[in-house]
């Protein structure tokens, strides 16, 4: 089993790369997706988040208002740390379960947004970083996700710098162009991972 850590700053296109690797046969474990699952209504994770942050982070239907919670934690590093202390252990348990279910010869891609921030590179055989300039990422967040430029800049500032991410990279996927270019890069990365898994 080849354990691949896939990361990239918000707006870099990491999810696009993740999808393309899954289409080529990778077992993708998406930490963001799992992080959402562990705070769904009825979970102990959501109860813990509400216990710390209050009912104001809930929607009327009882689900987590991620935007509201995000606006609280991204403006306050202590609150962000408190949220991470709740969610990360729950995500870790679920990741371990999924990893245990993968075949011995699988290429397992862990989609981990905060890999560099949390010093997780040593956990993986290969670290793949999807890279794009901050200006490109801000444009994507504003145009594709409807964020304000101020919010986009704040989210980027809350994450590791490009330089910090690139320091932990074994493979870099530049992603400032069209999706067709990304398709070619995904083929190259898959070939490299397959060779390392051989």
Chain segment 62-95, per-residue pLDDT in tens:
999 999 999 999 889 999 999 999 998 999 899 8
Confidence (pLDDT) at 114? 87
Confidence (pLDDT) at 164? 95
Phi/psi at 127 (nearest 5 deg)?
Answer: -110, 125
Residues 176, 148: Cα–Cα separation, whole Å: 20
For 8, the 3-state DSSP assignment is: coil
List the helix and strand counts (H, then E) for the chain. 9, 5
> What is residue 58's DSSP assignment?
B
Residues 197, 184: Cα–Cα separation, whole Å: 20
How confident is the model over 40-47, as a mean pLDDT?
96
Confidence (pLDDT) at 92? 87
Has domain 1-12+106-187 been given CATH number 3.40.50.300?
yes
C-alpha 176, offset from chain centre: 18
Q: Residue 21 in contact with residue 109, Cβ under 8 Å?
A: yes
Q: For the CA atoms of the chain, what is the radius of gyration?
A: 17
Confidence (pLDDT) at 146? 93
| Tokens encoding 58 | 């809930």
Question: Topology of 27-105 in CATH?
Answer: Rossmann fold (3.40.50)
Confidence (pLDDT) at 74? 87
| Every domain range in the chain assigned CATH 3.40.50.300 | 1-12+106-187, 27-105
């Amino acid at each position: 089993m080849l354990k691949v850590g896939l990361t990239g700053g918000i707006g870099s296109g990491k999810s696009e790369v993740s999808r393309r690797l899954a289409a080529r046969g990778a077992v993708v474990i998406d930490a963001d997706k799992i992080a959402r699952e562990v705070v769904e209504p009825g979970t102990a994770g959501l109860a813990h988040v509400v216990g710390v942050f209050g009912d104001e982070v809930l929607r009327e239907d009882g689900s987590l208002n991620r935007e509201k919670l995000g606006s609280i934690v991204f403006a306050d590093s202590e609150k962000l740390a408190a949220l991470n202390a709740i969610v990360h252990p729950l995500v870790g348990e679920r990741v371990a379960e999924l990893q245990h279910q993968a075949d011995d010869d699988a290429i397992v891609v862990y989609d981990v947004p905060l890999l560099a921030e949390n010093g997780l590179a040593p956990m993986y055989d290969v670290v793949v970083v999807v890279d794009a300039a901050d200006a490109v990422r801000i444009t994507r967040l504003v145009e594709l996700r409807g964020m304000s430029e101020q919010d986009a800049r704040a989210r980027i500032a809350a994450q590791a710098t490009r330089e910090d991410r690139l320091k932990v990279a074994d493979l870099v996927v530049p992603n400032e162009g069209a999706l067709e270019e990304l398709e070619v890069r995904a083929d190259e990365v898959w070939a490299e991972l397959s060779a390392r898994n051989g």
